[in-house]
């Protein structure tokens, strides 16, 4: 579902009912003294306000469109404009209510069709799941431990449960299609802290067990990367929930995580053999080297009294044979090299 986005409408389609883009003078409410704008023109190009926990922002910008430029009004839209129906997310069924809320602010005026045909950018798609803060934090820790080494610089793990717990991949401003801005955070904690005013007015529930993933489509090229042609708000809302889910849910794994080693074998494996190979693949992924597996031989000797040499040798040969697989040979060598360094330093 859509949580927020930015809509830009050409200025000739908008009636400006505010002071955006006009010269103003700031005057003190208490004594009437001029604060700013008397000597040099003061022009404010945006208005940012908040009412009952719902933030709204309007601005005027000059957009570059190829070799030409165009003046546009910008409307920052978010799902909190739906009030008590916030968790629906913004969709085709409720977008008219969002439009009505925006118009009711009395700042800009434009038609509903011009709103739908406005250019859309910086869209946040979110997916909610049931999870308490502790479970959510454990999930984030596990995800963090699976991040590719070269991608660790993009990770921010926040664990202050007084405000929130979660994991951020990259930043909104630095986002690219292959290093996107993705955020895992606990919506229940956020509603009890940062969004307390909104919660008290509309949701009226505390301690909600909701974890949220947000994926940011920063620019048009972020949509194009997934084969989506999105230019206007109308285009955005036409994307089915199933398509969004398929695109967004696997993006963390696709762009930031180590891939699972798949157990492959040209010959058929019995249940016990497959289970052993599955456990080996998991251990290799977690950084275990050859020494880890060979310690099993020594522990077998101490665990079993009067064990025969032939049985010990049989176990050793079985482990050696099991590790002789191309799918994890390179990773095993890297893990073993790390083991040696670890022994040197610790």
Residues 6+ apart with CB under 8 A from 38: 25
- Short-list 257, 263, 255, CA closest to 284: 263
Q: What is the pLDDT of residues 268-306, one digit of tens each?
A: 677 877 888 888 888 888 788 888 888 888 888 787 777
Q: What is the pTM of this model?
A: 0.75
Q: What is the pLDDT of residue 266?
A: 54
Residue 166: is it exposed, middle or buried by C-beta count within 10 angstroms (0-12/13-18/19+)? Answer: buried
Residue 110's pLDDT band, with cuts at 50, 70 and 90, is very high
Q: What is the pLDDT of residue 55?
A: 95
C-alpha to C-alpha distance for 125 and 245, rounded to whole angstroms: 9
CA end-to-end span of the chain: 48
- Distances in Å between the Cα of 97 and the Cα atoms of 3, 13, 73, 101, 293 are 15, 20, 20, 6, 62
Q: What is the pLDDT of residue 183?
A: 95
- Short-list 174, 177, 137, CA closest to 157: 137
Computed over every residue of the chain, the mean pLDDT equals 87
- Distances in Å between the Cα of 100 and the Cα atoms of 73, 96, 108 are 17, 6, 12
Return phi, psi of residue 303, to 5°: -75, -35
C-alpha to C-alpha distance for 291 and 312, rounded to whole angstroms: 16
Residues 6+ apart with CB under 8 A from 219: 121, 122
Q: Return the exposure string of 69-102: e unless at least 16 CB atoms fall within 10 Å of the residue's CB, then b.
A: eeebbbbbbbbbbbbeebeebbeeebbeebbebb
């Amino acid at each position: 579902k859509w949580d927020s986005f930015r809509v830009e409408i050409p200025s000739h389609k908008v009636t400006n009912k505010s002071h955006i883009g006009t010269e103003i003078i700031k005057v003190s409410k208490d004594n009437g003294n001029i604060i700013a704008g008397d000597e040099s023109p003061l022009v404010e190009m945006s208005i940012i306000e908040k009412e009952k926990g719902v933030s709204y922002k309007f601005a005027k910008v000059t957009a570059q469109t190829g070799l030409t430029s165009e003046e546009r009004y910008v409307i920052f839209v978010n799902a909190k404009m739906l009030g008590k129906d916030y968790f629906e997310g913004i969709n085709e069924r409720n977008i008219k209510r969002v439009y009505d809320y925006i118009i009711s602010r009395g700042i800009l005026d434009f038609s509903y069709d011009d709103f739908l045909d406005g250019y859309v950018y910086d869209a946040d798609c979110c997916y909610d799941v049931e999870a308490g803060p502790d479970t959510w934090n454990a999930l984030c820790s596990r995800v963090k431990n699976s991040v590719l080494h070269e991608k660790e610089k993009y990770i921010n793990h926040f664990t202050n449960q007084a405000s929130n717990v979660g994991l951020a991949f990259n930043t909104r401003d630095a986002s690219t299609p292959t290093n996107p801005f993705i955020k895992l955070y606990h919506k229940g904690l956020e509603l009890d802290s940062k969004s307390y005013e909104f919660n008290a007015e509309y949701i009226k529930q505390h301690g909600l067990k909701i974890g949220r993933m947000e994926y940011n489509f920063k620019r048009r090229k972020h949509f194009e990367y997934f084969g989506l042609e999105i230019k206007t708000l109308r285009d955005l809302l036409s994307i089915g929930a199933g398509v969004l889910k398929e695109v967004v849910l696997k993006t963390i794994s696709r762009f930031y995580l180590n891939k699972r080693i798949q157990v492959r074998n040209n010959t058929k494996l019995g249940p016990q053999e497959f289970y052993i190979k599955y456990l080996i693949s998991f251990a290799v992924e977690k950084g275990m080297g050859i020494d880890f597996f060979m310690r099993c031989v020594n522990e077998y000797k101490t665990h079993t009294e009067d064990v025969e040499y032939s049985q010990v040798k049989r176990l050793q040969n079985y482990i050696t044979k099991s590790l002789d697989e191309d799918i994890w040979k390179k990773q095993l060598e890297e893990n073993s090299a790390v083991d040696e360094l670890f022994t040197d330093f610790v």
